[in-house]
Amino acid sequence: MPWTGAPEQLEALEVLRQRLAASPYPEAAEDEATLRWFLQDRKLDVEEAEEKLIKMLRWRREFGADFISWTDVAREAATGKAYLHSHLDVSGRPVIVVRAAKHLTDASNLQDSQRLCVHLMDRALERLESANASSQGQEVQTVLGIFDLRGFTSANADWGFVRFLVDIFFLYYPKRLSQVLFVEAPWVFKPGWEIVKPWLKKYAALVRFVNVDEVRKEYFTPETVPEDFGGPGFPPKPK
């Protein structure tokens, strides 16, 4: 449901704004973009949007999401397991790349991985706002997620963390991921996917299994392809 500023949308927005102003999270009443997004997600049902918003705001406060700094996630980011790509894709979406083979379940602290995930998603949404502010075209509202599964083994299978990802994208970043690419998924990944797929319900349709060539040709220009998939600087220079 695109936001057109129709009378019924503006009416729902004002009602939701008033309810949030009287909630334990009055500051959220001024965040029009988030209010609009949750109203769109709930098809202008103010009560459902308010309920989902309150859950998200409570979670962010308890998790400390608004206070996660680069210092808090720098060590985890240094593993190279995930990053926010410096370019948008051809649809104008920010891109988060996850290198699954660099996430070692036994060597990873779950909370550190969770913080990095939230930090990257928040930075991606900030980039989205910035891109839309400078764009003269249609507003882009979603993020592309790319999971590089080359080299994936059972040592990388952290289903507890995957459950966290599913929960936060359903509950706290609803419909912000418009597509998820699984790149070069090996056979050892398939049994795990059969476990995860029911968790996603209808959103499993957002997942596409692709190869590197498809990522490079369908989602980026030659100048914007991540180095992992053959972009500028690929192959990397030997150290």
What pLDDT, on the 0 to 100 scale, is given for residue 132? 74
Cα–Cα–Cα angle for 24, 73, 93, rounded to 5 degrees:
80
| pTM (two decimals) | 0.90
* Residues in the chain where the model's pLDDT stays below 50: 233, 235-239
Q: State how beta strands 95-99 and 143-148 pair.
A: parallel
Report how far residue 41's alpha carbon sits from residue 25's, in angstroms, rounded to the nearest whole number. 20
Q: State how beta strands 95-99 and 82-84 pair.
A: antiparallel
Residue recorded with tokens 């980039």: 127
Residue 72: closest CA among 6, 27, 117, 102: 117
130 Cβ contact list (under 8 Å, min separation 6): none
What pLDDT, on the 0 to 100 scale, is given for residue 138? 73
What pLDDT, on the 0 to 100 scale, is given for residue 237? 45
Domain boundaries of the chain, sorted by first residue: 7-63, 70-229
Report how far residue 131's alpha carbon sits from residue 103's, in angstroms, rounded to the nearest whole number. 30
For residue 139, give the DSSP letter.
P
25 Cβ contact list (under 8 Å, min separation 6): 54, 57, 58, 61
- The superfamily CATH assigns to domain 70-229 is CRAL-TRIO lipid binding domain (3.40.525.10)
Report how far residue 15's alpha carbon sits from residue 116's, in angstroms, rounded to the nearest whole number. 34
Residue recorded with tokens 């500051």: 27
Residue 105: closest CA among 166, 168, 152, 170: 152
